[in-house]
Copies of this chain bind each other. A is one copy, B any other.
Amino acid sequence: MFRFLRVNMADKTCVFEDVPEEYAGLGGRALTSTIVAREVNPICTPLGPHNKLVFAPGLLGATNSPNANRISVGCKSPLTEGIKESNSGGQPGGHLARLGILAIIVEDIAAEGEWWQLEVGKDSARLVPSPVAGLNNFDAVEKLVGQYGKKCSYVTIGRAGEFKLTAASIAFTDRELRPQRHAGRGGVGAVMGSKGLKAIIIDPEGGQTPPIADAEAFKAAAKRFANALTTHPITSKGLAEYGSAVLVNILHEAGGLPTRNFTVGRFEGHEAVSGERLNQLTKERGGEGVVAHGCMSGCIIRCSGIFPDEKGKFKSKWPEYETLWCFGPHSNIDDLDLICTFDHMCDDYGVDTIDVGVAIGVAMAGGGIPVGDGKAVMEAMKGISEGTPLGRVIGCGTATTGRVFGVRRVPCVKGQSLPAYDPRAVKGVGVTYATTPMGADHTAGYAVTANILSCGGVVDPLKKEGQIELSRNLQIATASVDSVGLCLFTAFAILDIPDALPAIVDMLNAKFGWKLTGDDVITLGQRVLSTEVDFNRRAGITEAADHLPDFFSDEPVPPHNTTFDITPEELKTTFNWIKR
């Protein structure tokens, strides 16, 4: 029952094929990265016919495992020019898994100006001209729901993706059919746009829970995993109450909240843009606001929340910590309503909140937008959808914005914007930024855990000792988590509760009839990273690119006045199992 769906945008064929031997046993990121590494010419033009766009649910998708329905998107990134895996919540991951589709592989490109949508159902798939071209995500999905109904899930790009902007995201509808879960990073939406693919409609009708080799064992293991998630204070309570925005005050306190383009590590207006404030306002305003909202079926963490406007009407999902940060402290703005509006605009136009929000603050540093001027930001943001020059620049992300405005201090690695943790004050995550094959990405090895949250151990965030090992282990574990289809937030429980990882291994063994051990999970993660690093090397991205911009080692950041002092030579030891 498990198959690949190959979609060719040039000749419009949609073909189901048996899973080739070499991809057996892979899912999520392991699958997308392996397909991209094997099938995509690493020196191809990312927006050209030789790139491929791969969607893959994880190994435990559509099972009864909690929080296992994420979907990975893979391609050669037009932002970093290297391999990209960007994953998302929402319903499509589970739906594809229910249909037995392990991967959709989109190949070649349609003629310029043509827009198509892909209808996927049980044993059926076809491309039809898209009537929603030119619309942003919310209008597009509303129209598609009118046509295809509420039982389907939807994958769309907004106008940013149509414009092929390098910070364009791909939107996945959540349980309420809002297109607000995104594969945000690396410009995957631009690749979808380059192919002329506006939308994917997934009809789960006739699909089923995937076969489980040992159903009883699976059920027991899933229960143990759920138990871990409902036991750990972060996954049981913290995230549901405050969303990831719980981190605003924590990072401020730690002096690692990058403010005004990484010039200082604390923001005087932090309270106004904090998770606590988000929770309070959501409760006060009521209406359509929701505290403790899950973005996908099977989620028991429920971090995503819904933020209402002053009249109680839906305004946006709860913005992630990173979104609050880049439109907030980084851009010197402390207006929570305004930031939530920007968050919603990003979801609607289909752009990565991080690369766009950081671009805003960098444009401010370069004089392109007045510092802290919310109205000017609003105009710039609208320009993304309107296709103004400034909007397009911002929509291409931080590296392009920095270049256009002649900015010296551009916080990017491999062309991708740094997220919300100052690497001088949270050094473990700095190692991850510098070394992950994805370009600067906190989720690739979230060392904030041991650096700041005392989760999975304690490593002093201000000292260099132990950071490389911490990042290495987290990057390996994350590559596996991303392959299983689990939400990264399960990692808090995995790191602290001894039974969580064995429970996951037991679920995998019960489902597939495997006999994995914990070591095999490490091996899988290493294999994924090796594959990605090798693709990058062949694409021309070597370990010489594994470093932070100069200013992080040149300029101490208050309040701790530390620099990023882990040298490029030391960083080269991060992937110590890879021969180069």
Contacts and interface: CB of A to CB of B under 8 A. Distances in A.
A526 interface: no
B408 A45 contact: yes
B540 A544 contact: yes
A465 interface: no
Contacts of A396: 403-404
A541 B537 CA distance: 10
Interface of A: 42-45, 47-50, 78, 109, 163-166, 190, 193-194, 368, 388-390, 392-393, 396, 400, 403-406, 408, 410, 537-542, 544-545, 547, 549-551, 554, 568
A550 B48 contact: yes
Given A193-B406, A389-B389, A544 B47 contact: no
User: Secondary structure at chain A's binding surface: helix, strand, loop or mixed?
Assistant: loop
B45 A164 contact: no
Contact of A45 (B49, B393, B537, B551): B551
Nearest to A542: B540
Given A48-B554, A392-B404, A393-B404, 15 more contacts: A43-B568, A45-B410, A45-B549, A45-B550, A47-B408, A48-B551, A49-B550, A78-B403, A388-B389, A389-B390, A389-B393, A392-B393, A404-B404, A538-B544, A539-B544
Q: Ordered nearest first, which 8 A-B pairs have the shortest CB separation?
A: A164-B406, A540-B544, A389-B389, A389-B390, A45-B550, A540-B545, A47-B408, A392-B404
Nearest to A406: B164
Nearest to A367: B387
B408 A404 contact: no
Nearest to A395: B404
B43 A547 contact: yes
A571 to B, nearest CB: 11
Contacts of A547: 43
A580 to B, nearest CB: 12
A352 to B, nearest CB: 15
A541 to B, nearest CB: 7
A421 to B, nearest CB: 21
11 contacts: A45-B550, A48-B408, A48-B550, A48-B551, A48-B554, A166-B403, A190-B406, A392-B406, A404-B404, A537-B544, A540-B542
A403 B400 CA distance: 8
A175 to B, nearest CB: 32
Contacts of A538: 544
A310 to B, nearest CB: 33
A539 B540 CA distance: 11
B44 A550 contact: yes
A393 B405 CA distance: 9
A157 to B, nearest CB: 12
Contacts of A165: 404, 406
A403 B78 CA distance: 9
A112 to B, nearest CB: 8
* Interface core residue of A389, A404, A538, A544 (most chain B CB under 10 Å): A404
Contacts of A109: 408
A406 B163 contact: yes
A146 B551 CA distance: 40
A109 B547 CA distance: 22
Contacts of A408: 45, 47-48, 109, 164, 194
A47 B551 CA distance: 11
Nearest to A543: B540
Contact of A404 (B47, B400, B551): B400
A267 to B, nearest CB: 22
A31 B474 CA distance: 46
A554 B49 contact: yes
A406 B550 contact: no
Contact of A544 (B42, B45, B193): B42
A190 B109 CA distance: 37
A366 to B, nearest CB: 9
Nearest to A161: B406
Contacts of A166: 403
A16 B442 CA distance: 48
A184 to B, nearest CB: 18
A458 B405 CA distance: 46
Nearest to A546: B540
A446 to B, nearest CB: 25
B190 A47 contact: no
Contacts of A42: 544
A368 B539 CA distance: 29
Contacts of A368: 389
A541 B109 CA distance: 29
A537 B542 CA distance: 9
Contacts of A45: 408, 410, 549-551
